[in-house]
C-alpha cells in the first residue's frame, strides 16, 4: 500500500545517505483529501499530518483527535496574522513563518499563551515573486530576529520552483541552515523526497504519493 511503500523508500534513502534509520519524519499532507482516505492512513498507524489551510484543518482534525491519540499536526501553508491565534491552538508545528510581522504576532501570542508550536522559517529559494518566504539574502538576518524574539526556530522550509531542479534548492536551504546552526530541514514532496533526504531533509511533506491525486476542492 502507498504509505508502506513511501516508508520503505524513505528508509532506503536514509541508508543511501548514511543517515540513521528513522531520522526523517514523514508528514502526510492530507489537504483536500476525502476523509475516508485520511482515516485509512490513521488506521494504518500514521500520526503525523500536514495541512495547508487553517480553516480546513480546524474543520477536519478535532474530530480525528477525539478518536486517535498522539496526532501531530503541521501547518505547511501560508498563515495570515489574524489566524495566528487559531493556528497556535491547532498545530504542533508551523512550517510557514515567512515574514517579520508574523514573527512578531507569534511571539506576542506565545508570551500570552505560554506555549508556541515549533517553527520552520520558509525560504523562497527560487526568489519567485508569487511565492511566500524570506529571500535567501535576508535569511540570516531574519533567523537572528526570530531568535531575538525568543521563538522556537526548529529549521528552514522551502518549496522549489516547479520547473527547476529541486536539488539545487535543497542544497541552498541546507547551506543556509548549516551556517545558522539550525538542524531542521523541511523539504521534499511526492516527486522529490528522496533527493531531499540525500541533501539532509529531516521532514518530508508527502501528499499525493500517499493519498492519491487531489481532486480540486
Ligand X SMILES: *Cc1c(COP(=O)(O)O)cnc(C)c1O
Q: SS3 of 44, please? A: coil
List the Cα angle 17/119/174 in 5-degree steps: 30
Q: What is the dihedral of CA 3, 33, 28, 66, to 10 degrees?
A: -100
Stretch that binds ligand X, among 40-48, 112-120, 132-140, 201-209 (CB under 6 A): 201-209
Residues that bind ligand X (rule: CB under 6 A) add up to a total of 13
Query: Cα dist. 46→3, 8, 12, 155, 183 in Å?
Result: 9, 14, 19, 23, 24
For position 29 contacting ligand X by CB under 6 A, the verdict is: yes
For position 31 contacting ligand X by CB under 6 A, the verdict is: yes
Q: Which residue minimizes CB distance to ligand X?
A: 207
| Phi-psi map region of 22: left, alpha, beta (phi>0 left; psi -120 to 50 alpha) | left
Stretch that binds ligand X, among 18-26, 41-49, 165-173, 206-214 (CB under 6 A): 206-214
List the Cα angle 123/128/216 in 5-degree steps: 90
CB distance 64 to 42 below 8 Å: yes
Q: What is the dihedral of CA 77, 196, 144, 181, to 10 degrees?
A: 150
Q: Map the footprint of ligand X across residues 180-199, applying CB under 6 A.
A: 189-190
Closest CB 94 distance from ligand X, rounded Å: 12
Q: Map the footprint of ligand X across residues 36-95, applying CB under 6 A.
A: 52, 76-77
Closest CB 209 distance from ligand X, rounded Å: 6
Cβ-based nearer residue to ligand X, 159 or 182: 159
Pick from 135, 139, 115: nearest CA to 127:
135
Stated as kind and residue range, the H or E segment containing 49 is strand 48-51
Closest CB 105 distance from ligand X, rounded Å: 20
Cβ-based nearer residue to ligand X, 73 or 209: 209
Cβ-based nearer residue to ligand X, 109 or 189: 189
For position 207 contacting ligand X by CB under 6 A, the verdict is: yes
Closest CB 112 distance from ligand X, rounded Å: 28
Binder to ligand X among 13, 79, 109, 159 (CB under 6 A)? 159
Q: SS3 of 158, please? A: coil
Cell of 88: 497556535
Closest CB 31 distance from ligand X, rounded Å: 6
Binding site for ligand X (CB under 6 A): 29, 31, 52, 76-77, 159, 189-190, 205-209
Amino acid at each position: 500500500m502507498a504509505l508502506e511503500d513511501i516508508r520503505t523508500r524513505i528508509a532506503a534513502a536514509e541508508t543511501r545517505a548514511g543517515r540513521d534509520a528513522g531520522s526523517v519524519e514523514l508528514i502526510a499532507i492530507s489537504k483536500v483529501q476525502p476523509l475516508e482516505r485520511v482515516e485509512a492512513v490513521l488506521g494504518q498507524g500514521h500520526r503525523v499530518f500536514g495541512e495547508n489551510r487553517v480553516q480546513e484543518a480546524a474543520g477536519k482534525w478535532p474530530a480525528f483527535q477525539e478518536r486517535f491519540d498522539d496526532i501531530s499536526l503541521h501547518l505547511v501553508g501560508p498563515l495570515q496574522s489574524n489566524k495566528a491565534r487559531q493556528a497556535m491552538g491547532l498545530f504542533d508545528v508551523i512550517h510557514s513563518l515567512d515574514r517579520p510581522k508574523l514573527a512578531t504576532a507569534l511571539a506576542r501570542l506565545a508570551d500570552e499563551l505560554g506555549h508556541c508550536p515549533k517553527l520552520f522559517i520558509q525560504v523562497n529559494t527560487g526568489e519567485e515573486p508569487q511565492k511566500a518566504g524570506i529571500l535567501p539574502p535576508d535569511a540570516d538576518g531574519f533567523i537572528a530576529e526570530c531568535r531575538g524574539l525568543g521563538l522556537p526556530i526548529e529549521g528552514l522550509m522551502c518549496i522549489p520552483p516547479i520547473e527547476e531542479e529541486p536539488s539545487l534548492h535543497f542544497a541552498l536551504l541546507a547551506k543556509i541552515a548549516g551556517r545558522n546552526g539550525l538542524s531542521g530541514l523541511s523539504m521534499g514532496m511526492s516527486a522529490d523526497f528522496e533527493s531531499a533526504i540525500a541533501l539532509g531533509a529531516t521532514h518530508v511533506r508527502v501528499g499525493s504519493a500517499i493519498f492519491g491525486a487531489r481532486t480540486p476542492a
